[in-house]
């Protein structure tokens, strides 16, 4: 693969990654968000795959396949189980409304450019030039974590956060060492698993899926 075609494919893919992230911020349907998360993870997988093919690194390609399995299949599937199949499947009560969310997302993107400028300057390769995109996705995920009230959306935001970090890792360094990445993957998988288990526990106890109602423990 030539440098040019790799770069353009890479840019295209990471753009798609960011697009899916933003779309989650916009979408209200919980199942729709899960589908977008899948798409987001697939874009991440492609980032890894592209880097692996470009660097002719079999381990990286293998890692991307694991990513595909865990992040595009495993995690969204588990999260989907936390969504009630009957009743409210919409994120209707947001802390920040949709319009504001989208505007904030735009602001975050601008902020990400400013933030990453010195990093990009450090090693001005073409691949790293796309770092602001990855960081934007990451900041959007953080934004989602702190503003979403449904258990499922919080889980989705967490998954997005992890995806975005992995994306940044691909942009920066062609992925972190295998053992670390796989450990991280396992952790994220377990984390989502634990959270879903806790969520089902809570649902059986309180009949609520709104974390804003978790107010029994306070000062």
Interface with another protein (CB under 8 A): 95, 114-115, 118-119, 121-123, 138, 142-143, 145-147, 149, 154, 158, 161-162, 165, 168-169, 172-173, 176-177, 179-181, 183-184, 186-187, 190-191, 194-195, 197-199, 201-202, 205-206, 211-212, 214-219
Minimal distance, residue 139 CB to another protein, in Å: 8
**Closest approach of another protein to the CB of residue 156, in Å:** 13
Classified as helix, coil or strand, 50 is: helix
Residue 82 near residue 199 (C-beta atoms within 8 A): yes
111 contact partners, CB below 8 Å, separation of at least 6 = 139
When the beta carbons of 5 and 212 are compared against another protein, the nearer one is 212
Choose between 1 and 214: whose C-beta lies nearer to another protein. Answer: 214
Are 132 and 120 a contacting pair, CB within 8 Å?
yes
Q: In the complex, what is the shortest distance from the CB of residue 16 to another protein, in angstroms, rounded to a whole number?
A: 21
List phi, psi (to 5°) of 150.
-85, 150
Q: If we measure between CA atoms, which residue out of 80, 3, 73 comes closest to residue 34?
A: 80
Q: Measured from the CB of residue 3, what is the shortest distance to another protein in angstroms?
A: 20
User: Is 21:140 a contact under the CB 8 Å cutoff?
Assistant: yes
């Amino acid at each position: 693969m030539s440098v040019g075609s790799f770069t353009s494919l890479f840019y295209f893919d990471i753009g798609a990654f960011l697009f899916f992230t933003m779309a989650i911020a916009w979408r209200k349907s919980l199942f729709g968000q899960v589908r977008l998360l899948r798409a987001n993870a697939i874009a991440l997988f492609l980032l890894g795959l592209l880097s692996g093919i470009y660097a002719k690194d079999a381990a990286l390609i293998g890692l991307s396949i694991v990513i595909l399995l865990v992040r595009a299949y495993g995690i969204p599937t588990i999260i989907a189980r936390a969504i009630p199949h009957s009743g409210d499947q919409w994120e209707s009560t947001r802390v920040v409304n949709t319009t504001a969310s989208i505007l904030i997302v735009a602001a975050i993107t601008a902020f990400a450019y400013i933030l990453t400028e010195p990093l990009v300057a450090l090693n001005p390769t073409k691949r790293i030039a796309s770092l602001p995109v990855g960081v934007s996705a990451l900041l959007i995920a953080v934004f989602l974590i702190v503003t979403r009230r449904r258990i499922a959306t919080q889980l989705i935001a967490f998954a997005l956060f992890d995806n975005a970090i992995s994306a940044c890792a691909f942009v920066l360094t062609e992925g972190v060492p295998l053992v670390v990445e796989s450990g991280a993957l396992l952790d994220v998988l377990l984390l989502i698993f634990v959270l879903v288990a806790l969520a089902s526990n809570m649902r059986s106890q309180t009949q609520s899926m709104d974390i804003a109602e978790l107010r029994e423990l306070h000062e």
